[in-house]
Structure 1
Amino acid sequence: MSSRINLNPEEIVIAEVPIAVSTVLGSCLAVVFFCCRLRIGAICHATLPQGSCRFDGKYVNQAIAYMFHYFEGLKVRPAELTVKVFGGAEMFGVTDGVGMRNQQAALEALKQLGLNPSVLDVGGNRGRRLVFFSETGEVYRKWVKRTTR
C-alpha cells in the first residue's frame, strides 16, 4: 500500500516512489504530470494564475514549468507525459474570477510546452477533493458538498 500525504496550497509533490497525494480545491488548480515509463508522478496545488518568480508553487504557470523541467531533466519527452488538470471553480458566483484565470493560465502554459491535458475537470461552483496515485497516474475526484452561509 502507498504512503499517503496531504498536498497544501502552493505546494508541489514529485514522487519517484508510490504515494497517494490528497488535496482539496476550490478556485485553486491542481495539475498532474505522469510518466508511465518511469512510473513517476507529480502534482501541484497552485493558488494564482501567473507570477514572475522562478518555479514558485504558488503560481499555475510556474508550477507547471517546474514540473516540466523536472521531467525534462530525467530525459522524459513531452509525448511521454500524461497531463491532467483539476479545479478552477468559481466558488462565489463570479464568472471571470481567479478560478477562470487559473484555468486559462494552465492551458496557456501547457500549450507553450506542447502538452495537451488528457483530463480537463475544471470550472463549476463546487470544490473538488482529489487523491492522486503517483505509481499509476490515476486521480480520483469527489465533489465537495456546498454549504450555505
Structure 2
Amino acid sequence: MEELTLDSMRKHIDRLCEVREGSTVSWLAYMELYTKKERELYRALSTTQVSKNLVRFHLYIPTKELPLVIQPKINLPPLILNIVENNKMPPSKFDTNVMLEVPQAIVNTYGVPSYSEINPAPFYIVTFGFFIGVMFGDVGHMLMAIPLLIHFKANL
C-alpha cells in the first residue's frame, strides 16, 4: 500500500493529468487543470488530521456525488465513511459549465451567496453586455464630441 504523502499525491495527480502525448489538449489547458488540482489538493490537505494509521478529512460532499467517493476507480486504502448530520449551513455549490465558469468566479470574488440564496451569476451575465454597451457608448459620444469642441473652441 502506497503511503499517503504529498509526494505520492503529486505523482497521482501527474498520472491523472497525463494528457500530453497524442492529445489535442493545449499546454495552457493542461496547466489550468493541473493548477486547479493542486489548489484542491492543498485545500483538502489543510483540513486533514493525520495520525499513524489514519487520515481524517472533514468535508461536505453533495449527496449526488457521494458514489464518486465511495467507489473510487483508483487503488486507495479502505474508506471509512462517517456521515455526520449537523445544524451547520453547508457551503454553496453552483454547478457551472465552461461558459459560466468565469462569470461565476467573478461573482464569487465579491462574495459567495449563502446556501439558500439565489445565484446572482445569471443576472450578472445578462446585464454585463448592457453595461459594457453603456460604457462604450459614452466613449463613442466623447470621441464624436471632441472634434466638435475643438472646432467650436474659438467661439467659446
Please give the TM-score of this superposition, normalised by the length of structure 2. 0.28
Of Structure 1 and Structure 2, the greater helix share is in: 2
Please give the TM-score of this superposition, normalised by the length of structure 1. 0.29
Higher relative contact order (CA 8 A, sep 6+): 1
Of Structure 1 and Structure 2, the greater strand share is in: 1
